[in-house]
Structure 1
Amino acid sequence: MSNVTTGAAAAEQPYEVDECRGVLRVYSDGSIWRSSEPSFKVPVHDDGSVVWKDAFFDSTHDLHLRLYKPASPSSTKLPIFYYIHGGGFCIGSRAWPNCQNYCFKLALDLQAVIISPDYRLAPENRLPAAIEDGYMAVKWLQAQAMSEEPDTWLTDVADFSKVFISGDSAGGNIAHNLAVRLGAGSPELAPVLVRGYVLLAPFFGGTVKSKSEAEGPKEAFLNWELINRFWRLSIPIGDTTDHPLVNPFGPQSRSLEPLELDPILVVMGGSDLLKDRAKDYAERLQEWGKDIQYVEYEGQQHGFFTINPNSEPATKLMQIIKTFIVEKST
């Protein structure tokens, strides 16, 4: 009798149904385990050339952002550059060392104030939670610009009329959706003025596979199995990857053709499985007369700029971003 009970108890034990890069495990009973450690264990290169600190931007959801600025800035007022981290909407953090190292580099090389916000992660918080949090992170900046008691650490050096919103992978998706929501000139953010968007390997999807998704190598850093898993865990239950927040050109998505959009820079690695979707996105917007630039780095994988931030392609990319900021700031 005891053996039967033991067997039944064992059968009821939850088992793992999904796992993401060793830091997220989802179990059959709906429970979730998250590691306190990052999936990318690299040393933090904090040499003092950039100063940084954290700030709350959404106390309701306990969300922070991390602010960076050069310790010895090149001018009295610096442009503001948002860097929204990636992770398939399921993993990642402003505090992960790969994210922090890239923000150090962005602050120094761009001579800009960097704002790196967290957002709620799936599957505990499925879309549109991450998009809403991205919006709240930008509204926080507006509150700082309008405050009678602002954080002078930020306001003494930040130029609120020169704001750029960038995102990496899932963060690139968030940046796109913010561009659509805010529109050209971002009137609802006044006196904050967004000048442009930088989509770094944006995470778009769709129910019909692109050629690069279908034929991409299984050993890719972001392979199809992982792409599919991220979407399965992050889209609203019952929806598909043609959801308007996932597929900009899906059957239920609003047409982007009549919208007035700020300038957009799209960056992809040539070996990234997401390449075809991003290229199609850029080409369609170009055909509709939008100010959009597409840059592709041959042979580079998804996230090459944060994985190898000192590589030649990453260095060239940084110069392109800098040029974009200078050109769109005038």
Structure 2
Amino acid sequence: MASSSPPHVVEDVPPFLQLLSDGTVIRFTDAYPLPIPSPPPGQPVVDWKDVLYDASHGLKLRIYRPAAASSSGNKLPVIVYFHGGGYSIGSFDMPNFHACCVRLAGELPALVLSADYRLAPEHRFPAGLDDAANVVSWVRAQVAAVGDNADPWLSETANFGRVFVAGDSAGGGVVHHTAVRLASGRLGPLDPVRVAGCAMLCPMFGGEERTASEAEFPPGPFLSLPAVDQAWRLVLPPGSTRDHPLANPFGPDSPALDGVALPPMLVVAAARDLLRDRAADYAARLKAMGKPVELVEFEGQHHGFFAVEPYGDAGSEVVRLVKRFVYGNGGASD
């Protein structure tokens, strides 16, 4: 009688997780390879708290509010933020993602909602994208919520007519799909919530044909081409190629975006990022369709530079750029 072989590792994502041949996922929860950021003195004071937005999946989001907002009575724009991590790692409470949101909330200022979403390979696409849509629906529900269902920070501080959706790396891909769902009416009416713009920082898109930056750039300090390919194997439905519509917005089977009324889009690219060309091509294609899109490229920077060094000079420029987009002429006007 033949004995079955024990499960073996089929995908190894050190130091975060391993996928075994029987489908088991082993996560190493104490893994954190990035330097933990230390804020400089003089940063605006920001309060935060964690809120359960999807009890069925145990998903939370972290709300950031400038401390000064609690007494000013002023309504602030809302930024719904999705973290990076290749769709398979990360959480809103990781120190670097946390620092990014503290900066955005305090320095714009804004009310920032940083949301977790289900990760692959336990939950492949479209699970995480469905969660992102549920975050927007949760925000909409807060407008009319009463009693224990109403979050006082939102009811006191949120300008629901100025909501922005933003994300870094994989979170930037989440932003794209959320924007398309919103513009296509797949989330139903949002009134009085109004999404005034979307910001994508080094968005993660894929495709079978290599771009010049993928083929020619050396690996970055926190991203390599094999790691990108592996991320797509983990998150896409089994057997899919990188041209799957959820990876490649302009793949052979991807829905046309010409007739989709996207909100104003801000796309940030890093000049030394392996995925630089995909971000630039995304912005160029949208612009050719007449979509309101702005591409800003950061020279000398690698993929995910804002999260890697949230208090660096380039990170400070990202904050200024997003502030201009939210308060200036980038997002849709009231």
TM-score above 0.5 = yes
Which structure is higher in RCO with an 8 Å CA cutoff and minimum separation 6?
2
Q: Quickly name the TM-score band, shorter chain normalised.
A: over 0.9
Larger Rg: 1
Tell me whether 1:72 sits opposite 2:92 in the alignment: no
Moved more, 309-318 or 112-121: 309-318
Deviation at 1:221, TM superposition (A): 2.1
Root-mean-square deviation (CA, aligned residues, Å) is 2.2
Local SS of the residue matching 1:189? coil
Q: Is the contact made by 1:21 and 1:39 (CA closer than 8 Å) also made in structure 2?
A: no
Measured in 2, the distance between the counterparts of 1:281 and 1:153 equals: 35
Match of 2:48 among 43, 46, 52: 52
Counterpart position of 1:25: 18
- In structure 2, stretches of 5+ residues that fail to align are none
Residue aligning to 1:143: 141
Match of 1:35 among 20, 28, 45: 28
1:192 aligned onto 2:219: no
Give the gaps of 5 or more residues in structure 1: none
Other structure's SS at 1:204 match: coil
Classify the secondary structure of the residue corresponding to 2:129: helix
Cα distance between partner residues in 2 of 1:94 and 1:143:
22
Q: Which residue type is aligned with residue 152 of structure 2?
A: T
* Deviation by residue 1:25-67 (Cα, 9 ceiling, x = unmatched): 1123321111222424544758881111111111111111111
SS of match in other structure, 2:189: helix
Once residues 161 and 80 of structure 2 are traced to their aligned partners in structure 1, the CA distance between those partners, rounded to angstroms, is 14
Which residue identity does 2:122 align to in structure 1? E
Asked if structure 1 preserves the Cα contact closer than 8 Å seen for 2:212 and 2:277, the reply is yes
Distance 1:202 1:122, change over 3 A: same
Q: How does 1:101-180 map to 2 (within 5 A)?
A: 101-149=99-147, 150-180=150-180
* Displacement after TM superposition at 1:216 (Å): 1.8
Deviations 1:82-120 (A, max 9, x none): 110011111010111111111111111111000011001
SS in 2 for 1:26: strand
Inter-CA distance 140–109: structure 2 relative to 1 (3 Å threshold): same
1:318 aligns to 2:311 (yes or no): no
Aligned residues: 323
Identity of aligned residues (%): 43
Task: Check 1:297–1:187 CA distance in 2 against 1; reply closer, same or farther (3 A cut).
Answer: same
Distance in 2 between the 1:40 and 1:118 partners? 19
- Post-superposition CA distance 1:282-312 (Å, at most 9, x none): 0111111110000000110011111112222
Q: TM-score, normalised by structure 1?
A: 0.92
